Amino acid sequence: MFTPSSKYFVGLTGIALVSAILYMFLINPSDLGAIALFGVAASSALVAGFTLFTRDGDAFTDEEAVAAATYAPGGSIWPIVFALGAALVLTGLATVPVVFILGIGVLFGAGLEWTIQNWSQRASADTAFNSFVRERAIGALEYPGLAAVGLAIIAYLFSRIVLAVSKEAGPIIFIVVAAAILVVGILISQKPALRGRVTVLISTAAVIALVVVGVIAALSGERHELAVSSEEDHYSAEHRECEVAASEHYDHLANNQVSLRSAVTATIFVEDGKLRAQAIGIKKDIDTITIPRSLGTTVIFRNLDETEHRLVVNLGSHTVAETGVKEKVGTCTQLTGKKQEQALTLTIPKPATSEEPYFFEVPGIEGEIKLVVP
């Protein structure tokens, strides 16, 4: 009654259902995990139904499939890979999460391969036929999966190289490598004689070079300025450099373009050396912007001046518990170029005190816009 493929999917359906029920009772009845397991059960049941209905696509008859109906097992590498996965999981639990995640991936991949191989070896006594059955079941997953892993490795190693070299050299390397790949590809397609050994040789050499250089680059770390920026926390909202002068790190590659329009509470302008603000629904310029407390609110800063400026919002001060030192609280945009703009989203949980009112300012420009949190 059951075809070889349907047995596999019926089994998978059963396991997924039991897992889902156990998950619901033991872990969380309304968690996404239960939904995912039920999803696996439903989809595998559907595939089982299809395979039963189509008799495995009529690729072979039941008679052929059970020609000898004897078990013809061969050697398998998957138990070793599975064990390696388990070791990685255990190591990852004790060391870093990335090893754990890698271990889970290896466990899942090896488990799947092992299961499919074992199942295919029971299809008949004919090893070639069994190999064909295995290919049918897993081939559609294997090639894209391996290709994705290969591409991820290439992208990761290449990114390490580009991050390690200077920012001028990065694009050049990228262009040279891309051009080389294009040239080799064209040569191989135009000269069929080059195919075969030469292709394998070039590919192997390229992969070895990439792995070696990538590993060296990863070990040597990112280029100096990136490492410093990251170490000194120049990218976080709490550590913005809001002075008049350009910051080497914070102002690096400012976007200066804002597509947001509909959710803006106010727009602050610098024009002819003066600061002014407008809000939706108010016809004239305003000198006070009201922001509801605890609500993410966006203000746009538009620089219509000839020189670069940044918008700074001052939110009072706080005392550092450990040192007792008073620190200014606030944030700012990056330096905004001539006739360009940036958005600043603020979430302010408490109103200002009368001693330290909140306000917007643009360093180097006279005046301020009051900020009220009622």
Given the rule CB under 8 A, which residues bind other proteins?
A: 262-265, 279-283, 286, 288-290, 292-296, 349-351, 353-354, 372, 374
Distance of closest approach, residue 329 Cβ to other proteins, in angstroms: 14
Place of tokens 């290919």: 135
The smaller minimum CB distance to other proteins, of residues 190 and 259, is found at 259
Helical H runs in the chain? 4-26, 32-54, 62-65, 78-94, 97-121, 127-164, 169-190, 197-220, 224-231
Q: Rounded distance, CA 168 to CA 208, Å?
A: 25
Distance of closest approach, residue 190 Cβ to other proteins, in angstroms: 55
The smaller minimum CB distance to other proteins, of residues 191 and 350, is found at 350
The smaller minimum CB distance to other proteins, of residues 323 and 353, is found at 353
The smaller minimum CB distance to other proteins, of residues 199 and 345, is found at 345
Place of tokens 């792995």: 211
Q: Rounded distance, CA 32 to CA 25, Å?
A: 14
* Residues 330, 334, 340, 346, CA torsion sign: negative
Distance of closest approach, residue 298 Cβ to other proteins, in angstroms: 8
The smaller minimum CB distance to other proteins, of residues 206 and 352, is found at 352
The smaller minimum CB distance to other proteins, of residues 83 and 372, is found at 372
The smaller minimum CB distance to other proteins, of residues 230 and 294, is found at 294
Partners of 24 in the β-ladder: none
Distance of closest approach, residue 353 Cβ to other proteins, in angstroms: 6
**Would you call 197 helix, strand, or coil by DSSP?**
helix
Q: Rounded distance, CA 66 to CA 72, Å?
A: 12
* Strand bridging mode 288-290 / 274-279: unpaired
Distance of closest approach, residue 373 Cβ to other proteins, in angstroms: 9
Contact in structure between 125 and 72 (CB atoms under 8 Å): yes
The smaller minimum CB distance to other proteins, of residues 41 and 346, is found at 346
Contact in structure between 311 and 301 (CB atoms under 8 Å): yes
The DSSP 8-state label assigned to residue 323 in this structure reads T
* Strand bridging mode 264-271 / 297-303: parallel
Distance of closest approach, residue 179 Cβ to other proteins, in angstroms: 44
The smaller minimum CB distance to other proteins, of residues 161 and 299, is found at 299
Spatial CA neighbour of 90 closest among 77, 74, 75, 107: 107
Q: Rounded distance, CA 80 to CA 88, Å?
A: 12
Distance of closest approach, residue 53 Cβ to other proteins, in angstroms: 35
Residues comprising the chain, all counted: 374
Distance of closest approach, residue 120 Cβ to other proteins, in angstroms: 45
For residue 257, which amino acid is it?
A: Q
Distance of closest approach, residue 366 Cβ to other proteins, in angstroms: 21
